[in-house]
Structure 1
Amino acid sequence: MTNTARTFAARLTRAPLADDAAVAADIAAQFSDLPPALSGLLAATAGCSPFLRDLMQREGDWLRNALSAAPEAAFDALLADMSAATPDQLSDALRLAKRRAALFTALCDLGGVWPLEQVTGALTRLADLAVDLSIKTGVAEEIRRGRLPGATPDDIATAGGMVVLAMGKMGAGELNYSSDIDLVCLFDESRYKGVEHEARASFIRVTRRMTALLSDLTAGGYVFRTDLRLRPDAAVTPVCMSMAAAESYYESVGRTWERAACIKARPCAGDLAAGARFLKTLVPFVWRKHLDFVAIQDAHDMRLRIREHRQLNRALAVEGHDLKLGQGGIREIEFFTQTRQLIAGGRDATLRDRTTVGGLRALAAQRWIPQDVCDELVTLYRSHREVEHRLQMVHDAQTHTLPTMAPDIARIAAFCGEDDAAFRSGLLDRLTRTDRLTEGFFSPSGTAEAVPELSQTAQAIVQGWAAYPALRSDRAQQIFRRLRPAFLTRLNRAANPDEALVALDGFLRGLPAGVQLFALFEANPALIDLIIDIAATSPALARYLSRNASVLDGVIGGSFFAPWPGVSALVADGAARMAEAPDYEAKLDAARRWMKEWHFRVGVHHLRGLIDAFEAGKMYADLAEAVIAALWPVVVAEMTRKHGPLPGRGAVVLGMGSLGAARLNAGSDLDLIVIYDGAGAEASDGPRPLALRPYYARLTQALVTALTAPMAEGKLYDVDMRLRPSGRQGPVATALESFRSYQETEAWTWEHLALTRARPLVGEAPLRAELEAFRRTLMATKGQGEAVRSDVAAMRARLQVAKPAKGSWEAKNGPGRLMDVELMAETLALVSASPARGVEAQLRAGGKASHLSDSDQSVLTDAYRLFWRVQAAVRLITEDTVDPATLGEGARAFILRETGMADAASLATSLDESAARAAAVIGMLLGGAADGETGDAD
């Protein structure tokens, strides 16, 4: 039997303790016909609550029947009876339903029959239905009297375009036991063009009639106290306003507290579809695309104002404590949850849960808060709400304040099933734990750190910070004054504090005006460590960060240190970000923001030793592939819009060089080739048709522009297309047959070598497969004969002259170094007809084909891996040639850590020796004398 089919008595798990034994005994006698567990629950409840005792006596016959059924069925029947009332009966029917619901939900709560969420959900269902019946009855009356222009009886089902938004706890489905209900009443003005004024007057009458129907106290009681003050600019606007007017208000002057309120907004009555459309228009207002840490300060200020206004800043005590607004209370947990949702919900829709418990769990799932903090706050929230309910059940009062007299505290303790001492101790403990968990978030600065002594040069640098654009506002200066000791203390711990200070100065100087970065640092002190770490290691990365501060959005997202998602997940993520942008240019800017966040993440992980150079190389390549894969459909769609769909079989983008081999460094550009197959088509079919060749040339140029154009968010990558047939002289897009013909009859050996690393990235699957098959067949044909080795030897000799090694830590150029080993690996792949693209795999292929001994393979592989580690580390630090003598201490330590060397001299020696060994092997393989390091310029 399912739990919902079990009767009330079978699901009892707890009961209060009777505070008034005489009253309890009287009620027990009145309900002696019920099973002992039920009569005992009623007696103990009545002994704590005069309000519930009166309801038991008033609704006794109904209660007996309700308690004999499954609780859910009994409550559904209660709502059904209310729905069946005629307009003349509605007022009495609503009040009868409210009395019975109040009694029944209280017993479900007190008896542990329903968990908190089911109790508050039932109260919310009652409120939803009461509001819906009230406004539809009012709209029906307006239509009957001909006062709602153009409306007919058919419009009653949608309340003539009027919708009521439930706000606060009602919107979240979390109504407390004696809640008032916060409502915003709107109407869809698009249904009343030209007669909007008359429609507004009609809906205002409906709204006033609804509030009277729900709130007026009659002989039958009241239904719900209604509050309409959460509507836009409530002091001057009518009680029901048009959706267009509300949207205009939020877009122009909406404040942080209104954004927080809208998190819980939910259409609850009337035209629900129109209400959903309206809330969709508010998404940009509520959910900002960039992390909004100023919301923390706004929430903190609001919280302090509430405490001051209500004089709640006093020592924590049970007597008179406000369980909602006081220290460690319900509002602390709600603010904690909502503020974090506001900060990150614009980027992650999974955080947009209306409920407090659901919001906390979503934040934990996305690693915005630790799971143990989530679990504890959920438990505390539920406990606070249960005590709140019992405060309200005593006299059906909308109160959150604990009594000030000891006997009344004892009654609440009994109502909670505890003795006085246990209740007091437990409550104070829960309030203290809540305050401890939430206070640090709202007051993150804590105790100010002592400022270390500064040299005169350092003092001059620090004093100049006040003039920087990002620090000119009063708010930024106020926050930064609190942060400065933390910055300087952490700088003092750097390997070279003065060097790190200069880099930090460059970072701060480059920040634009209006940036909210300092509120972000205050809320996340660990970011200060990250910034100092970057400044002390890579001044270039610090300068990049100042120009692209929004990449820090991703750092505080809980997924920043999660496992790498891989290409498929990255493509989906990038495509989703671009899909949210309204037009082509905005999509390209969205792609730039998205790419930079991931690119920065890889750099930070590498810098901090979470990944090594090879993992970073794969991640950078994954990201570049994902950018192209996510961007390609956007570029194609724009081309299709202008000139029609891709003619023929479409096109394929080939990744060449390091991208094809799936290993890039932080500063890599992208080598690309675009190949298309017209399949007999002569032109496109669209608004402005283009001939085949110009069509694909424009498509290619559009892709290159999408990647390289300097927009508001910068560029994505530099692109090199010189590996296409005929290089710079050839067309930017190559027809498939021309590509085949060129490679078979005209291409030089170096072009065949380039194909060893070619990899189809995007395009039609059949065409991609065909190109890969051709690549493999071509390599088997063109890799034979001694001409290959002699061509490579000549090419190698030219490269040594054109690009000699520079400096003792040179990794890329020179005999036996990175480019030399890569060239040898491509050669071995070509002569072995191996499809392998990565350097190590190509070297292994040479060994399997007996072109390379095991020992020589180890020499080349070891050299390549050492040089790659240096190259990847250097490119994260600088775009220039690196000189260990002038390199910063932090940067030098990073490179040494990456290579496992003890000091700069050891690394230089290892590089020289590895290069000499590799050059000797390469020279032997190509049939020449062993090359030394004669090309180096130390």
Structure 2
Amino acid sequence: MLAAMTDFTTRITRQPLPYEPEPAADIARSFADLGPELAGLLSATAGCSPFLRGLMVREADWLRPALSQPPEAALDAILDPLEDLPMAGLGDGLRIAKRRTALLTALADLGGVWPLEKVTGALTRLADRATDLAIRRLVADEIRRGKLPGARPEDAGTAGGMVALAMGKMGAGELNYSSDIDLVCLFDETRYPGEEQEARASFIRVTRRMTALLSDLTAEGYVFRTDLRLRPDAAVTPVCLSMAAAESYYESVGRTWERAAYIKARPCGGDLAAGDRFLKALVPFVWRKHLDFVAIQDAHDMRLRIRDHRGLHGPVVIEGHDMKLGVGGIREIEFFTQTRQLIAGGRDPSLRDRTTVGGLRALSAAGWIPSDVAEELTDHYRAHREVEHRLQMVQDAQTHTMPATSEGVDRIAAFCGLAPEAFRAALRDRLERVDRLTEGFFAPGQAEDGPELSAHAREIVEGWASYPALRSQRAVAIFNRLRPQILKSLGRAANSDEALAAFDGFLGGLPAGVQIFALFDANPPLVDLIADICATSPKLARYLSRNAAVLDAVIGGGFFTHWPGTQSLARELADKLAAVPDYERRLDAARRWMKEWHFRVGVHHLRGLIDAFEAAKQYADLAEAVVVALWPIVSEEFARKHGPAPGRGAVVLGMGSLGAGRLNAGSDLDLIVIHDAQGQEESTGPRPLGARPYFARLTQALVTALTAPMAEGRLYEVDMRLRPSGRQGPVATALESFRSYQRDEAWTWEHLALTRARTLAGDPGLMGEIEALRREILAEKAVPSRVLPDVADMRRRLADAKPPSGPWEAKNGPGRIMDIELLAQTAALLAGDPARRVEQQLRAGVRSGFLSAADESALLAAYRLCWRLQAGSRLLSEAPVDFGALGEGGRAFLLREVEAPSAEALLARLQTHVAEAALRIDARLGSDGTNQEGEGDRAAG
């Protein structure tokens, strides 16, 4: 017994100073039998923390034998028996384990027995064990009650495919003393083909019961406060969702902060193997294959926003200082580390360490930061975390803020074993040093030497001195520092003269003043932004030279913030248009607004802030917002002349790629309009119109509002050929006519087109009725004997009409985008499924048995590669892709987008995927369809 006791005792290297002598003396007397070293540690701890003093008294019988062995063994003795607890006793058992782990880790921390990583690791082990046990036991209960479809008792071992991902500090094994735990709960939907919804309902129940089991405060305390808000789109999604849904979210709308969050993510409970597979699938989302230097600006902006929001600017004052978010605090070191990891971790997997200290070590080893800086920040990080722990140990509070009174600070000083003034001086020095080290990361660098210029280029550059923006000495001085970097980037363009001319047009259009150049000087990523546009994308470069005003959006402060989504965009545009009284000026205002956002999407895609799929979603969000905001403006203007719309008015439907919510930089809009006059024969305005001509002319007014070239250009090209009867049909269709046409006259290609139709604007009740009708039609027309021959014939004629333009073709031809979309729409139609996107339509085909899982995998691989190639190339040029004609920047952009090491490797991969997809489509559609009239190219488009 004595030998075991000396193990803990001899490892004590420090202890607090007792801030409150009387409680300290009481504990010293109670535990005098443990010897002076242990009794002294317990006494001094009790004199600083009422919470830990209460635990010592409550757990005295357990504490004595626990301290008679090494702390590692004591922790094992707490955690190991938990596996044998019955479900009825799990809640209390976990709470008792939490109390004892809290006391043990606190004493090991305060006594210097364990370093920081062991302390946070012990707390994380408990969190992992509690989460895993809760999930597996609760899933077992669902299986026992027959609530999880098709699951057997042995499936409880893997929680039926459910997994909890530990995020944040839990994911990194860095839980602080009174930490919440951040979890993302998912399930593997592939284990429940055809029964996904029922399984999801079961897993939602498990998640809610798990949260209550861990978080609820009972007579035994609580285990961990649990936070589920890091899941995808937490405001609208259930607490547990399928891995496919989560992956689709991150692929389409995942944001920069979510990339950073997944640096630390790891499976911690349930089906760990499924969790590992999910995280592997997210690697391209988190770790970009390029040097993402814009992350520096993102992190810097986030730091400033946090400080602004919490009022954390100004000199360091110890009282009330936020150790996590304040100047020189923990978050500064985390941002410093994670931002560098995001910049280079795509190319160097060795940098993908979940922990802050491990990340600093890896960055130092790879040469990204000096070793002495890494070591110093590591020391400061550990010291900051120890202060944070002591703040939380006082009353088991989830706080990071120093006490607001000098007496409170004195208590923390004593808890750290220091006299008040020594503690204050050391803490202030650390905070100020961290601030200096991390702030320097965001300071502008020195410009490199510029390249040698041709005579023509030199002539252009010399002409810059006459431009309004470069007439002041200060502007010239700043610009001279920036010019070498700009010229070097421009020199990498496919046509450097063209890129230089585009930049020349941009520069010449800037007004006098130094604000823009000062902004560039303070934010080097903005310099790279302008140069990259000119050096990489001739299309965007020409756009910028003609529309230099869009730069207002870049310098307005919101250019690199999170994407707001359709509703916010539509509200913003509506508010902007409401402030403009004149109809024509409203249309021009809409064009200026749309150009800024459209430019932003293109730039974010070009810079790798978003990928092709997120860009596609953002282009579609933007187009929908324009339609949603303009429709009432157009309707109001039309009604001013002809009176309000008869009946319920009309609804605008997005078709094709707009309906599916996936556009590229050059997409037009496929629209149709459906109206319901409800028997009203004409309008009641100054110049009344019959219902049919009213809606036809209203539709034409919408098309004109979108397409007319004005002073600010045009918004979109519009294609209305997907309306009933195509070009021959009326531009606006009555609801009853639409219903009867779809049921009795429409060709198969029109039913395929209906799979992607989506209501955008109009009367909400009418929108709902049209969507319900769409679903009814799809269910009624799921007749394989008719659909498959029609589609096979359609496919043959599409192949004849639109053959591939060359080896790099991504859109037209067998196994490419239009071919895969045609099959996906066929799968949705045969399944009677309302899904609109390719991924969900293929999944519907798998559920219905029309496609196999292998089909789905091969088709998605081809589709994703082709879409990335197509969307990327459309951003660079209107012409078909020709790698030989692209400059270094353009080639690098496309190769990064598709994650290929070279053009040769990309071409080989493209040919392989396309050939495999074509074979599988051949197998599903066959080649014996009968000839049908129709316009399949319009349905696929």
TM-score, structure 2 normalization: 0.51
1:186 alignment partner, SS class: strand
Map 1:88-99; keep pairs closer than 5 Å. Answer: 88-99=88-99
1:307 alignment partner, SS class: helix
Partner of 2:344: 344
Cα gap change, 1:715/1:342 in structure 2, threshold over 3 Å: closer, same or farther? closer
What 5-or-longer segments of structure 2 have no aligned partner? 448-457, 507-516, 542-881, 892-941
Find the aligned partners of 2:518 and 2:180 in 1 and give their Cα distance: 35
Find the aligned partners of 1:254 and 1:98 in 2 and give their Cα distance: 35
**Greater Rg, structure 1 or structure 2?**
1
Pick one of 499, 508, 523 that aligns with 1:510.
499
Cα gap change, 1:317/1:238 in structure 2, threshold over 3 Å: closer, same or farther? same
Pick one of 884, 898, 901 that aligns with 1:710.
884
The answer (yes or no) to whether the contact 1:323–1:329 under 8 Å persists in 2 is yes
Partner of 2:393: 393
2:103 alignment partner, SS class: helix
Find the aligned partners of 1:113 and 1:120 in 2 and give their Cα distance: 13
Map 1:513-552; keep pairs closer than 5 Å. Answer: none
Cα gap change, 1:509/1:261 in structure 2, threshold over 3 Å: closer, same or farther? farther
The answer (yes or no) to whether the contact 2:478–2:521 under 8 Å persists in 1 is no
Partner of 2:127: 127
The answer (yes or no) to whether the contact 1:18–1:46 under 8 Å persists in 2 is yes
Cα gap change, 1:463/1:442 in structure 2, threshold over 3 Å: closer, same or farther? farther
Map 1:206-605; keep pairs closer than 5 Å. Answer: 206-444=206-444, 460-461=463-464, 485-489=477-481, 510=499
* 1:545 Cα deviation from its structure 2 partner: 14
Cα gap change, 1:198/1:40 in structure 2, threshold over 3 Å: closer, same or farther? same
Find the aligned partners of 2:364 and 2:4 in 1 and give their Cα distance: 30
Map 1:895-906; keep pairs closer than 5 Å. Answer: none
Partner of 1:50: 50
The answer (yes or no) to whether the contact 1:363–1:369 under 8 Å persists in 2 is yes
CA offsets, 1:445-501, max 9 Å, x none? 799xxxxxxx9975742687999xxxxxxxxxxxxx999854504769x9xx9x999
1:328 alignment partner, SS class: coil
1:61 aligns with 2:235: no
Cα gap change, 1:389/1:460 in structure 2, threshold over 3 Å: closer, same or farther? same
Partner of 2:599: none
* 1:710 Cα deviation from its structure 2 partner: 2.6
Aligned length: 522
The answer (yes or no) to whether the contact 2:489–2:535 under 8 Å persists in 1 is no
Cα gap change, 1:118/1:462 in structure 2, threshold over 3 Å: closer, same or farther? farther
* 1:510 Cα deviation from its structure 2 partner: 3.0
Cα gap change, 1:463/1:155 in structure 2, threshold over 3 Å: closer, same or farther? farther
The answer (yes or no) to whether the contact 2:5–2:67 under 8 Å persists in 1 is no
The answer (yes or no) to whether the contact 1:444–1:522 under 8 Å persists in 2 is yes
* 1:313 Cα deviation from its structure 2 partner: 1.8
Find the aligned partners of 1:519 and 1:142 in 2 and give their Cα distance: 62
The answer (yes or no) to whether the contact 2:492–2:888 under 8 Å persists in 1 is no
* 1:311 Cα deviation from its structure 2 partner: 1.6
The code of the aligned residue for 1:30 comes to: S
Partner of 2:181: 181
* 1:53 Cα deviation from its structure 2 partner: 0.2
Find the aligned partners of 1:127 and 1:160 in 2 and give their Cα distance: 21
Cα gap change, 1:322/1:137 in structure 2, threshold over 3 Å: closer, same or farther? same
The answer (yes or no) to whether the contact 1:483–1:522 under 8 Å persists in 2 is no
* 1:98 Cα deviation from its structure 2 partner: 0.2
Cα gap change, 1:244/1:711 in structure 2, threshold over 3 Å: closer, same or farther? farther
CA offsets, 1:355-378, max 9 Å, x none? 000001111111111111111100
CA offsets, 1:242-297, max 9 Å, x none? 00010011111111100000100000000000000000111111000011122222
1:353 alignment partner, SS class: coil
Partner of 1:16: 16
Map 1:635-650; keep pairs closer than 5 Å. Answer: none
1:88 alignment partner, SS class: helix
The answer (yes or no) to whether the contact 2:535–2:889 under 8 Å persists in 1 is no
The code of the aligned residue for 2:209 comes to: R
* 1:528 Cα deviation from its structure 2 partner: 9.7
Find the aligned partners of 2:340 and 2:230 in 1 and give their Cα distance: 21
Find the aligned partners of 1:283 and 1:381 in 2 and give their Cα distance: 27
Cα gap change, 1:227/1:511 in structure 2, threshold over 3 Å: closer, same or farther? farther
The answer (yes or no) to whether the contact 2:294–2:525 under 8 Å persists in 1 is no
Find the aligned partners of 1:368 and 1:351 in 2 and give their Cα distance: 10
2:200 alignment partner, SS class: helix
Cα gap change, 1:63/1:503 in structure 2, threshold over 3 Å: closer, same or farther? closer
1:8 alignment partner, SS class: helix
CA offsets, 1:692-743, max 9 Å, x none? xxxxxxxxxxxxxxxx9737676999xxxxxxxxxxxxxxxxxxxxxxxxxx
* 1:526 Cα deviation from its structure 2 partner: 13
2:393 alignment partner, SS class: helix
Cα gap change, 1:421/1:483 in structure 2, threshold over 3 Å: closer, same or farther? farther
* 1:10 Cα deviation from its structure 2 partner: 1.5
The answer (yes or no) to whether the contact 1:167–1:184 under 8 Å persists in 2 is yes
The code of the aligned residue for 2:79 comes to: L
The code of the aligned residue for 1:461 comes to: W
2:394 alignment partner, SS class: helix
CA offsets, 1:567-601, max 9 Å, x none? xxxxxxxxxxxxxxxxxxxxxxxxxxxxxxxxxxx
The answer (yes or no) to whether the contact 1:4–1:72 under 8 Å persists in 2 is no
Cα gap change, 1:501/1:85 in structure 2, threshold over 3 Å: closer, same or farther? closer
Map 1:828-847; keep pairs closer than 5 Å. Answer: none
The answer (yes or no) to whether the contact 1:445–1:483 under 8 Å persists in 2 is no
Map 1:628-777; keep pairs closer than 5 Å. Answer: 710=884
Cα gap change, 1:199/1:400 in structure 2, threshold over 3 Å: closer, same or farther? same
The answer (yes or no) to whether the contact 1:24–1:46 under 8 Å persists in 2 is yes
The answer (yes or no) to whether the contact 2:536–2:887 under 8 Å persists in 1 is no
The answer (yes or no) to whether the contact 1:75–1:101 under 8 Å persists in 2 is yes
CA offsets, 1:346-405, max 9 Å, x none? 000000000000001111111111111111100110000000000000000000000011
Find the aligned partners of 2:64 and 2:466 in 1 and give their Cα distance: 78
Find the aligned partners of 1:508 and 1:63 in 2 and give their Cα distance: 77
Find the aligned partners of 1:81 and 1:254 in 2 and give their Cα distance: 40
The answer (yes or no) to whether the contact 2:490–2:535 under 8 Å persists in 1 is no
* 1:443 Cα deviation from its structure 2 partner: 4.8
Partner of 2:698: none
Give the % identical residues: 67
The answer (yes or no) to whether the contact 2:490–2:499 under 8 Å persists in 1 is no
Find the aligned partners of 2:148 and 2:442 in 1 and give their Cα distance: 49
CA offsets, 1:127-178, max 9 Å, x none? 0000001111110110010000000111011000000000000000000000
Cα gap change, 1:484/1:295 in structure 2, threshold over 3 Å: closer, same or farther? farther
1:98 alignment partner, SS class: helix
* Cα RMSD (Å): 4.2
* 1:14 Cα deviation from its structure 2 partner: 0.5
Find the aligned partners of 2:340 and 2:29 in 1 and give their Cα distance: 52
Find the aligned partners of 1:283 and 1:520 in 2 and give their Cα distance: 33
Cα gap change, 1:297/1:512 in structure 2, threshold over 3 Å: closer, same or farther? farther
The code of the aligned residue for 1:340 comes to: R
2:7 alignment partner, SS class: coil
Partner of 1:109: 109
Find the aligned partners of 1:527 and 1:27 in 2 and give their Cα distance: 61
Find the aligned partners of 1:94 and 1:292 in 2 and give their Cα distance: 43
Partner of 1:203: 203
The answer (yes or no) to whether the contact 2:75–2:101 under 8 Å persists in 1 is yes
Cα gap change, 1:34/1:364 in structure 2, threshold over 3 Å: closer, same or farther? same
Find the aligned partners of 2:277 and 2:4 in 1 and give their Cα distance: 34
The answer (yes or no) to whether the contact 1:297–1:519 under 8 Å persists in 2 is no
* 1:319 Cα deviation from its structure 2 partner: 0.4
